[in-house]
A = this chain, B = another copy of it.
Amino acid sequence: MQAADRIPATFTDLYELTMAAVYWARQMNDPATFELAVRGLPPSRGYLVMCGVESTLEFLEQVRFDEPALAYLASLDLFEEPFLAMLETLRFTGDVWAIPEGEVAFAGEPLVRVTAPLIEAQLVETFLLNAVSYETMIATNAARISQACAGREWVDFSARRNHGIDASVRAARAARIGGAAGTSLVLAGQEFGLGLSGTMAHSFVMRFGDERDAFLSFARAFPGRAVILLDTYDTDDAASLLAELAEQLRAEGALPRGVRLDSGDLDSLSRSVRATLDRAGLGDLQIVASGDLDEYRIEQLGAAGAPVDGFGVGTHLVAGPGSQLDAAYKLVEDATGPKLKLSPGKASLPGRKQVYRISDGDHCAYDVLALHDEVVAEGRPLLDHVMANGTRTSAPETLEAAAKRREIAVGGLPSRTVALEPLPPPYEVRLTPALRTLRDRLRASHTRAVGTTP
């Protein structure tokens, strides 16, 4: 796995370096603040679950240009020697504020805020956008799957569907924060201490040819832990076979833990399989469903009362309408003051900001975007100071702590916001009067400036 503490500084877009070269030559390396925010929520999403802070901090703590990277940059014939010499000693020395992992967030809110010498803050943009967007997308999808499961367990089966290696490992981690009980990916279990889950493949049954031999061999190899796959040929026949083998396996102390259905009409199959198992005294065997499941299908199965005890989710954890967050990392303030961008559809809010969440009894009512120096007394500030002068302010928290935070945060959302298809109005993110005033003043000054361009 590609741990974030081994990712080279050349994981950056070329323009970060060309801009840095100009800043360096012009001695414009005074501290600047960038904020990473999602411009709009993907379709059908009413909220985001923050993730990617840990990857960000691991990356920033160690990011550097190594010897091969510097040699490569020199070969491009784009950069002058003093600039490359500066890169050789470059470390991230800035401050980072972030919404903690597992917390709920909304479009337009700064998820991460970086204040650092301009060159450092600029060079890390590509990694931060990649990591925070991706992990937040997965944690958000996972939270929706957990909602749909309504208390039943589900497991991340996404490794074969993911985009690469570290994407798979980090998906398992983000899924845990979003509420998954575990993962099928051994490397992710090894890396993060996640619970591992696995059943058997169709190829196993096909190799044995005979389901009887396949089921007996697997059950005996993992007594009390095996999950038997029923749909290689015919699901109901396979359930009947297992029922027939029950007495023998019980006598050997080798009853399986459950069965898996991976295709067909999961609602009706789960009922017939449940009935077959129950008749054979196998009421304790769990039924696990998989096969192109998403949060909607899981919710339907639950609403229909299908006797499914757990789910495996692969493709739809990482794909579908929520597979991309439209995030941006924007300069909001530098030595010359607060900044904004006016590009159509991409206008930004100036100044270093804090997000406050305002509660209304048991639920959160709305959020307020405020300038960093303001205090919104009735609200709870969401951005924590997680890195100071390039060093973490505290040790990494456990995944369980982040998962618990997600559970509480999602539970505190208004029902219209938390619905799988959110209802209007969208959760409100207000601006303080001071922030509005600053934005309007800067907009006006740019409009004037543009108006006087010859």
- The verdict on A231 contacting chain B, using a C-beta distance below 8 Å, is yes
- The verdict on A300 contacting chain B, using a C-beta distance below 8 Å, is no
A19 — which chain B residues lie within 8 A by C-beta? 200-201, 203-204, 218
A319 — which chain B residues lie within 8 A by C-beta? 323-324
A241 — which chain B residues lie within 8 A by C-beta? 453-454
Q: How far is the CA of A68 from the CA of B221 in the complex (A)?
A: 24
- The verdict on A62 contacting chain B, using a C-beta distance below 8 Å, is no
Q: How far is the CA of A7 from the CA of B118 in the complex (A)?
A: 35
- The verdict on A76 contacting chain B, using a C-beta distance below 8 Å, is yes
- The verdict on A162 contacting chain B, using a C-beta distance below 8 Å, is yes
Choice from B161, B190, B203, B263 contacting A344 with Cβ under 8 Å: B263
Interface string of A56-78 (1 = CB under 8 A from B): 00000000000011001100101
Of residues 1 through 30 on chain A, the ones whose CB sits less than 8 Å from some CB of chain B are 1-2, 7-8, 10-19, 21-23, 25-26, 28
- The verdict on A126 contacting chain B, using a C-beta distance below 8 Å, is yes
Choice from B126, B133, B200, B207 contacting A15 with Cβ under 8 Å: B200
Contact present for A186 and B12 (CB under 8 Å): yes
- The verdict on A264 contacting chain B, using a C-beta distance below 8 Å, is yes
How many chain-A residues does the 8 Å CB contact rule pick out?
109
Choice from B157, B233, B343 contacting A342 with Cβ under 8 Å: B233
The residue in chain B whose Cβ has the minimal distance to the Cβ of A204 is B19
Q: How far is the CA of A11 from the CA of B129 in the complex (A)?
A: 25
Choice from B165, B263, B315, B324 contacting A161 with Cβ under 8 Å: B324
Of residues 186 through 225 on chain A, the ones whose CB sits less than 8 Å from some CB of chain B are 186-187, 189-190, 196-204, 206-207, 209, 211, 217-218, 221-222, 225
Contact present for A206 and B339 (CB under 8 Å): yes
Contact present for B264 and A343 (CB under 8 Å): yes
- The verdict on A405 contacting chain B, using a C-beta distance below 8 Å, is no
Given A234-B342, A336-B209: A18 and B450 within 8 A (CB)? Answer: no
The residue in chain B whose Cβ has the minimal distance to the Cβ of A83 is B221
Q: How far is the CA of A32 from the CA of B226 in the complex (A)?
A: 24
Interface string of A121-139 (1 = CB under 8 A from B): 0100110011101100000
Q: Which residues of A contact B (CB under 8 A)?
A: 1-2, 7-8, 10-19, 21-23, 25-26, 28, 32, 34, 68-69, 72-73, 76, 78, 118, 122, 125-126, 129-131, 133-134, 157, 159-168, 170, 184-187, 189-190, 196-204, 206-207, 209, 211, 217-218, 221-222, 225-226, 231-234, 237, 240-241, 244, 262-264, 315, 318-319, 323-324, 326-327, 330-331, 334, 336, 339-346, 446, 449-450, 453-454
A330 — which chain B residues lie within 8 A by C-beta? 202-203
Given A234-B342, A330-B203: A7 and B165 within 8 A (CB)? Answer: yes
A28 — which chain B residues lie within 8 A by C-beta? 207
Add 7 more A-B contacts to A165-B166, A209-B336 (CB < 8 A).
Answer: A11-B185, A19-B203, A34-B203, A126-B160, A130-B160, A131-B164, A163-B167
A134 — which chain B residues lie within 8 A by C-beta? 162-164
Contact present for B263 and A343 (CB under 8 Å): yes
A13 — which chain B residues lie within 8 A by C-beta? 157, 159-160, 184-186, 198
Contact present for A170 and B164 (CB under 8 Å): yes
A126 — which chain B residues lie within 8 A by C-beta? 159-160, 185
